[in-house]
């Protein structure tokens, strides 16, 4: 068992202490992140972009995810490990069960699925079988070709209403955590207050229960030379990666990150 469990995350939500989450894809970074006090490590399919150099997360396979989860498990010092089920790995019930099992057996403590209301059924089936699920709403990068780009989601009132309803339905279905990506800050705060499960944000303002960033982004590393608006470079003012990771955890916990400039308006 990790030191941080679902029960810990629930009590952090209830006490108002913010949850610090960060991606890691290998043992060394998982060790450094967990030593810095990161509560949750996300083995994200963002590895397709930052490790493999693809222009989207779509090429990533479950076997690749399992390899990175196993590496992270070996370096982790007590954080809860969440792993992404990659593109089309949960298109059918059979695929969902078998691919989620692979990631859990590799060392994940929870799996993350991107989507909307249609996730209710896979979430219910996984939760009933002992696999906690984080539902990822808002900008869902696996659907970039449907969304027409990496754009803020939930700006129109109808879209916002739907996202609020989806969040509550997925909690009812058994989701253990929600992740909101690129959602107007006000909407993300409303959703966080409407559900009892922890809500983690990225580009979703400071009103969520916690924050996540891609580790390469917050260390100022980029293949394109451009960082998204919601990213802060935590290497500034630090002379080591360990220092930057510790500064990130401190800033999430003392709520100095994200600042208003890292969020989006409706
Ligand atoms: O894949 C990933 O790293 C993610 C984060 C951007 C939230 O899903």
Q: Which two tokens stand for residue 139?
A: 């900008």
Report how far ligand 1's centroid is from the alpha carbon of 243 (Å): 22
Rg (CA), the chain: 17
Report how far ligand 1's centroid is from the alpha carbon of 94 (Å): 24
Counting every residue, how long is the chain? 266
Of 194, 193, 213, nearest in space to 203 by CA: 213
Cβ 217 under 6 angstroms from ligand 1: no
Cβ 104 under 6 angstroms from ligand 1: no
User: In a structure prediction context, what are the per-residue pLDDT tens digits for the chain, which is 266 residues long?
Assistant: 789 999 999 999 999 999 999 999 999 999 999 999 999 999 999 999 999 999 999 999 999 999 999 999 999 999 999 999 999 999 999 999 999 999 999 999 999 999 999 999 999 999 999 999 999 999 999 999 999 999 999 999 999 999 999 999 999 999 999 999 999 999 999 999 999 999 999 999 999 999 999 999 999 999 999 999 999 999 999 999 999 999 999 999 999 999 999 999 99
Q: Domain boundaries in the chain?
A: 6-262
Report how far ligand 1's centroid is from the alpha carbon of 84 (Å): 8
Q: Which of 121, 128, 171, 181 is catalytic?
A: 181
Q: Is 84 annotated as a binding residue?
A: yes
Q: Can you tell me which residue has the tokens 């935590």? A: 234
Report how far ligand 1's centroid is from the alpha carbon of 67 (Å): 17
Which string of b and e fits 111-125 if b means at least 16 CB within 10 Å? bbbbbbbebbebbbb
Q: How far is 236 from 95, CA to CA, in rounded Å?
A: 43
Clarify whether 181 is annotated catalytic: yes
Domain topology for 6-262: TIM Barrel (3.20.20)
pLDDT in the model for residue 53: 98
Q: Which two tokens stand for residue 265?
A: 């308006």
> What is this structure's pTM?
0.98
Q: Is 112 annotated as a binding residue?
A: yes
The 3-state DSSP class for residue 227 equals coil
Ligand 1 closest atom vs CA 44: 1
Q: Is 13 annotated as a binding residue?
A: no
Q: Is 185 annotated as a binding residue?
A: no
């Amino acid at each position: 068992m990790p030191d941080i469990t679902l029960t810990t995350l629930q009590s952090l939500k209830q006490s108002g202490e913010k949850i610090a989450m960060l991606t890691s894809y290998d043992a060394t970074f998982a060790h450094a992140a967990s030593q810095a006090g990161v509560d949750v490590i996300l083995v994200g399919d963002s590895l397709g972009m930052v490790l493999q150099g693809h222009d989207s997360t779509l090429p990533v396979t479950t076997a690749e995810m399992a390899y990175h989860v196993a590496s992270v498990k070996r370096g982790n010092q007590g954080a809860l490990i969440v792993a992404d089920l990659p593109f089309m790995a949960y298109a059918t019930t059979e695929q969902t069960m078998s691919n989620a099992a692979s990631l859990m057996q590799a060392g994940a403590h929870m799996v993350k699925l991107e989507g909307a209301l249609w996730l209710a059924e896979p979430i219910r089936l996984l939760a009933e079988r002992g696999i906690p699920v984080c539902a990822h709403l808002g900008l869902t990068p696996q659907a970039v070709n449907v969304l027409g780009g990496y754009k803020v989601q939930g700006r129109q009132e109808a879209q916002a209403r739907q996202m609020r309803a989806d969040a509550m339905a997925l909690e009812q279905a058994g989701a253990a955590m929600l992740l909101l990506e690129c959602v107007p800050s006000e909407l993300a705060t409303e959703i966080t207050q409407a559900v009892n499960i922890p809500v983690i944000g990225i580009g979703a303002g400071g009103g969520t229960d916690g924050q996540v960033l891609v580790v390469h982004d917050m260390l100022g590393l980029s293949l394109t030379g451009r960082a998204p608006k919601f990213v802060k470079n935590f290497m500034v003012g630090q002379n080591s990666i360990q220092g930057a990771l510790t500064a990130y955890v401190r800033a999430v916990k003392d709520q100095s990150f994200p600042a208003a400039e890292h969020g989006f308006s409706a």
